[in-house]
Amino acid sequence: MFNPNNNRHMKKILLMAAAMLSMTYTGSAQSVRVRGSDTLGAKLVPQLAEGFKKQAGGVSFNIAAEGSSTAFTNLAAGTADIGMSSRKVKDDERTFCKTKGVFIKEHQLAWDMMAVVVNKNNPVQALTKKQVAGIFTGAIKDWSEVGGTPGPISIYTRNTSSGTYRDWMTLAMGNKDYAKGSQKLAGNEQIAAEVGSNKGGIGYIGLAYLGSKGLKAVPIDGVAPAASNVSRYPYSRPTYLYTNGDPQGAVKDFLEFCKSPAGLAIIQRVGFVNR
C-alpha cells in the first residue's frame, strides 16, 4: 500500500504541501480551483476565466463541472476555492460545511433561463406550465395528450447532483419527483443531443445551449425563453458562486471581474442574463 521506496519523496512533497497549507489557500495560491455546476462550468466560467486571465495573467484555473452539489462537497473538503452552483445552497449543506470549518459566502453571478426543448420535428408549438409539470412528473405519458402526434414521451433530465435537477423540481414540477421513466444525463449538451435525435424527446437546458442541432424551444404559457423575457418567463433562476469566507487574492479579483463591464459582456455573450 505505502511503497517504502517513495517514502523520502513523499515526505518532501508533503512538506511542501504542508507549507502551502499553512498559508491560507485562497490568499496565496495562484491556481484557482473551481468546482460545481455543469450549467456554469461548461461554458460561462471557463470563458470568464479566460477573460480574466487576459487581464490579470499569471493565474491558472482548474475547473471541474460535475454538478452543483460538488461545489459544496469540494468547498467543505478544501479542494475548491470557488464553488459554482445553479441553485442556492441548502441549509444542510451550509451546516455540513460549517462542521468542516468552512463558512461559505454567496455571490450572485447571473440569471439563467431553463428552456423546455423538444425535437424540431415535433409539431407541438406551445405548452402550459401545468402540461410541463404533468409531463415531467409522469402524469402525462403521450404526446397526443398535449396536442402532438401520438407517441410516448421520452423525458431527459440532468443527473441528480445537478442544481438544475433540483431547481426544475421546484420551479416546474411543484416539488414532486420526476417520472420513473426519465433518463438522467450528464450535462446540458447530452440532453440537447438526445432531444435533437429523438422525435418524442423533451428536456430542459440552459439558454446558452439552445443553438444545438435539431432542437426547438417551446414557449411556456405564451412566453418564449429569451433574454428579454427574463422577468416573465416561469423558469428563470439566479446562479451563484460560493467561496470559503470572504474572497481574497486572485479569487477576489476574479469575482470583481465577473461584475465588471468586460465580465458582464462575456455573461451576455454566452447566453446568460444580467438582471
Q: Which of residues 52-81 bind other proteins (CB under 8 A)?
A: 54, 60-67, 69-70, 72-73, 76-79
The pattern of x and - marking residues 79 through 108 that bind other proteins according to CB under 8 A reads x-----------xx--xx-xxxx-------
Please give the single-letter amino acid code of residue 73.
Answer: T
Question: In degrees rounded to 5, what are phi and psi of residue 126?
Answer: -155, 155
Beta carbons within 10 angstroms of residue 185's beta carbon: 19
Count how many residues are written for the chain.
275
- Least gap, CB of 204 to other proteins (angstroms): 16
Pick from 159, 160, 209, 162: nearest CA to 38: 162
Q: How many chain residues are in contact with other proteins, going by CB under 8 A?
A: 100
CB nearer to other proteins: pick between 99 and 222: 99
| Beta-bridge partners for 35 | 64, 83
CB nearer to other proteins: pick between 128 and 212: 212
Contacting other proteins within 194-233 (CB under 8 A): 194, 197-200, 211-213, 216
Q: What does the radius of gyration of the chain's CA atoms come to, in whole angstroms?
A: 21
Which residue has cell 499553512? 22
CB nearer to other proteins: pick between 12 and 275: 12
Please give the single-letter amino acid code of residue 249.
Answer: G
Contacting other proteins within 21-50 (CB under 8 A): 21-22, 29-31, 38, 42-43, 46-47, 50
Binding window for other proteins (CB under 8 A); candidates: 81-89, 151-159, 231-239, 254-262: 151-159
154 binds other proteins (CB under 8 A): yes
Which residue has cell 442541432? 213
Within its chain, how far is the Cα of 149 from the centroid?
A: 33
257 binds other proteins (CB under 8 A): no
- Least gap, CB of 185 to other proteins (angstroms): 7
- Asked whether the beta carbons of 81 and 47 are under 8 A apart, the reply is no
CB nearer to other proteins: pick between 154 and 259: 154
- Least gap, CB of 173 to other proteins (angstroms): 8
Contacting other proteins within 112-131 (CB under 8 A): 120-121, 123, 125
> 3-class DSSP state for residue 214?
coil
2 binds other proteins (CB under 8 A): yes
Contacting other proteins within 164-193 (CB under 8 A): 165-166, 169-170, 175-177, 180-187, 189-190, 192-193
- Asked whether the beta carbons of 207 and 272 are under 8 A apart, the reply is yes
CB nearer to other proteins: pick between 92 and 222: 92
- Asked whether the beta carbons of 101 and 21 are under 8 A apart, the reply is no
**Of the residues 128, 159, 229, 274, which one makes contact with other proteins according to CB under 8 A:** 159
- Least gap, CB of 46 to other proteins (angstroms): 6
Residues 6 or more apart in contact with residue 239 via CB below 8 angstroms: 37, 39, 40, 84, 85, 86, 108, 109, 110, 111, 112, 272
